[in-house]
Amino acid sequence: MMKIVFPFCSFTYICSYFKQITCKANNMQSNSIARPSLGLYLTEGFRALKERLQSLSFRKEYMPAQLGDGHPVLVIPGFLTNDVSCKPLRNFITRIGYVAYPWGLGRNYANVEDLEVLKATMDSIYQKHGVKMTLIGWSLGGVYARELAKTKPELVRQVITLGSPFGGLQEPNNAAWIFNLIKGKKAQQLDQAWVDSIPSPAPVPTTALYSKNDGIVSYKVCQELKEDATHRNVEIQSSHLGMGFNKEVLTIIAEQLPNYAAETKVTANKQRETLSND
């Protein structure tokens, strides 16, 4: 049965939303990062459903110009979602020639401790395949993917983020209130040193997908601060909740996954030689 998670919206929240907008206008705040509009937020579920339905045949029939080389791809879900929400994406990745792995930790409740478990998962995947893996993270999952790549770059071929607010977790967004409700504390109470380090780029090739139609987080915080040969920002047309099955997103992923193969093989061979010499 198809399930689309639609952001909960209450009268209290709407009132709070307009109150914050009014206060910001009155105070003439200079912060250029604003939460997505209420219209985008309220239509997220409908737009995501449309994107999922429109991509049904595409996900089953699309064949990229270059089929996959079988390297592993770890897919990390967003806040309050789980492996079920990412199953269409994993199935697509598997069909075009890669080995897709779920994160395997149930629903993502934004527990920073999950990063340690994911590191062990990465070790296990590498031991099985012997080559670097691609990390794909949707929303908060992309924040995790970048952090994992920073701590274990020797295991990561590349990172692809889908609407991930790594550029400003504490900036205004339409998900923080849910985080506060569930966690019983504000996002601002997270370890500040860690939060401040999140925008820094991972030392591996990274592709950040962002959408100006995102109704959950500002597209401005979903981009690398500085682009270079291996760190790219790519604008897409998608809702936040529909990115995992948006045709444009899937096409970009299919085109991006074959990249950096030579580097991966060379590094993997060197690592195997080191292990055999120890």
Query: Quick one: average pLDDT of 6-32?
Result: 42
32 lies in some domain: no
Residue 256 lies in a domain: yes
If one compares 27 and 244, the residue with the highest pLDDT of the two is 244
| CATH number of the domain bearing residue 84 | 3.40.50.1820
Number of domains in the chain: 1
* Prediction pTM value: 0.82
> What six digits make up the tokens of 141?
């999952």
Asked if 10 and 38 touch (Cβ cutoff 8 Å), the reply is no
Average pLDDT over residues 138-162: 97
Q: What is the pLDDT of residue 185?
A: 53
CA atoms within 13 A on the CB side of 112: 8
pLDDT tens track for 184-214: 555 555 667 777 889 999 999 999 999 999 9
- Write the secondary structure of 209-257 as one string of H (helix), E (strand) and C (coil): EEECCCCCCCHHHHCCCCCCCCEEEEEECCCCCCHHHCHHHHHHHHHHC
pLDDT digits (tens, 9 = 90+) for 51-108: 999 999 999 999 999 899 999 999 999 999 999 999 999 999 999 999 999 999 999 9
Q: 237-254: per-residue pLDDT in tens?
A: 999 999 999 999 999 999
Whether residue 232 is contained in a domain is answered as yes
Q: Is 38 inside any structural domain?
A: no
Quickly state the pLDDT bin for 37 (edges 50, 70, 90).
very high
Structural domain range at position 88: 70-168+177-267
In a domain, 9, yes or no: no
Average pLDDT rounded to a whole number, residues 257-271: 67
Distances from the Cα of 31 to the Cα of 25, 156, 171, 262, angstroms: 11, 35, 9, 43
Q: Tell me whether residue 275 is in a domain.
A: no
| Three-class DSSP category at 30 | coil
